[in-house]
């Protein structure tokens, strides 16, 4: 089954404790992206990657890191989480046909609470 998986689905942590949210897709997609969703603000892009070893900042990259060492994986790293990073996080991927991007598929989401 074609899918995007994220782990963990739910996480409660404390300020300053480093954490990683994993994202994996099995569709051989070139493009992957991380979003956060907050009430009243909608979905906002954190980082994106157009292919292996190619990453770039989105709209709200502060406090986050990413890496793309393999095509299928795109982990999101919070080196020192703070309460304002409490949010619902989505990973997404899509293919690139050379002239256009196709549909973005989203993972099930990770609900993060930072105390």
Partner 1 sequence: RKEVEQDPGPFNVPEGATVAFNCTYSNSASQSFFWYRQDCRKEPKLLMSVYSSGNEDGRFTAQLNRASQYISLLIRDSKLSDSATYLCVLRSYNQGGKLIFGQGTELSVKP
Q: Which residues bind partner 1 (CB under 8 A)?
A: 31, 33, 35, 37, 40-45, 48, 50, 56, 58, 88, 90, 92, 96, 100-101, 103-104, 106-109, 111
* Cα angle: 49, vertex 53, 58; to 5 degrees: 30
Euclidean distance between CA atoms 25 and 60, whole angstroms: 23
16/96 with CB nearer partner 1: 96
Measured from the CB atom, is 9 or 18 closer to partner 1? 9
Min separation Cβ 69 and partner 1, Å = 20
For residue 52 the two structure tokens come to: 């292996």
Q: What angle do CA 10, 15, 21 make, to 5 degrees?
A: 35
C-beta of 63 vs 109, nearer to partner 1: 109
């Amino acid at each position: 089954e074609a899918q995007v998986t994220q782990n963990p689905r739910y996480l409660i942590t404390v300020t300053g404790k480093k954490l990683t949210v994993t994202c994996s897709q099995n569709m051989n997609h070139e493009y992957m992206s991380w979003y956060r969703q907050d009430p009243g603000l909608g979905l906002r892009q954190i980082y994106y990657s157009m292919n292996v070893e190619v990453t770039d900042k989105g709209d709200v990259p502060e406090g986050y890191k990413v890496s793309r060492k393999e095509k299928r994986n795109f982990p999101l790293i919070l080196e020192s989480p703070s309460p304002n990073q409490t949010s619902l996080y989505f990973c997404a991927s899509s293919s690139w046909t050379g002239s256009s991007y196709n549909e973005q598929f989203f993972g099930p989401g990770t609900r993060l609470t930072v105390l």
